[in-house]
Structure 1
């Protein structure tokens, strides 16, 4: 019989316009990933890629929506990060301008995540990505 490990789940609420919280979320996610050792010894995700993508999604939520956001990370043999916000507009990757300071977040998620997406919810939406082991 194979022992099944319960997922490690971490959640953090971020207040509207609290851009200082982005660095705190990055630190907390690094700590979470540093404490988790799957039974097979493989890390569920590259911590720096996970931190970069999470930072991009949180920043997007704080800059482009109202009401703050809720970040959830689940670690099993994969890492799944979800950022819930309270806006209904569905974001799409766009080509950033060469001189622009924004527009790269979802393009990075699309390029570096094993899988990602956006789903509408009763109030707002959830933008998520997964790392570790290819698409689910």
Structure 2
């Protein structure tokens, strides 16, 4: 299944630095846990294949680097609410890298989406309006630079990641698997 059909774009009107849409604040009343390994349930996490997947959607204004911290806090809170706080440290670090790159290097705003899927994978997408692919530093002194290691971190820590070009820019994404109990 391609990323577009799994994560349909929800446009938000301009205004605040970001806005949550969808089910960004957790499960509806009465949502049950999921059966993990050996029938163990995880509170607040939908059963595999359940339509109650968790989603956090934020729209960020151009060059608003202060919003990066707010995105991290919202993501950590959502992951705790969804029952997967163990993903927070890695997800926050990699999210910071992708969101900062989008806001700093494109001169435009960005759209952030986090989804906990029914098959217990966290997918983070950052969409920006720049069609150019992100690149690693290639200069001889790159190892001494104070920036430019974000994609190396994403590559090293994510279970999978990539870039999808679209007509209105690109989406840089990564996925983290929830560890089995």
Is TM > 0.5 for Structure 1 vs Structure 2?
A: yes
Note the alpha carbon deviations across 1:73-101, whole angstroms, 9 max, x for none: 00121100000000010113346723311
Aligned residues: 128
The TM-score, its normalising length taken from structure 1, stands at 0.86
TM-score (norm: length of structure 2)? 0.66
Structure 1 alignment gaps of length 5 or more = 38-42
Larger radius of gyration: 2
Task: Identify which of structures 1 and 2 has the higher relative contact order when contacts are C-alpha pairs closer than 8 Å and 6+ apart.
Answer: 1
Relative to structure 1, the CA distance from residue 68 to residue 85 in structure 2 (aligned partners, 3 Å threshold; closer, same or farther) is same
- Determine the C-alpha separation between the residues in 2 that align with 1:125 and 1:98: 27
**SS of 1:63's equivalent?**
helix
Residue 113 of structure 2 is matched in structure 1 by 72
Are the equivalent residues in 2 in contact too, given 1:45–1:131 (CA < 8 A)?
no
Equivalence for 2:173: 128
Partner of 1:52: 93
3-state SS in 2 of match to 1:118: strand
Q: Distance in 1 between matches of 2:75 and 2:163?
A: 21
5+ residue gaps in structure 2? 1-34, 36-46
Structure 1 partner of 2:150: 105
The separation in 2 between residues aligned to 1:102 and 1:54, in whole angstroms, is 16
2:18 alignment partner in structure 1:
none
Distance 1:34 1:62 in 2: 26
RMSD value, Cα: 2.0
Q: What pairs with 1:1-136 in structure 2 (closer than 5 Å)? A: 3=47, 4-5=49-50, 6-37=52-83, 43=84, 46-76=87-117, 77-94=120-137, 97-132=142-177
Q: Is the 8 A contact 2:94 2:150 kept in 1?
A: yes
What is the SS of the residue equivalent to 2:142? coil
Supply the distance in 2 between the matched residues of 1:94 and 1:130 (Cα, whole angstroms): 23
Determine the C-alpha separation between the residues in 1 that align with 2:65 and 2:176. Answer: 24
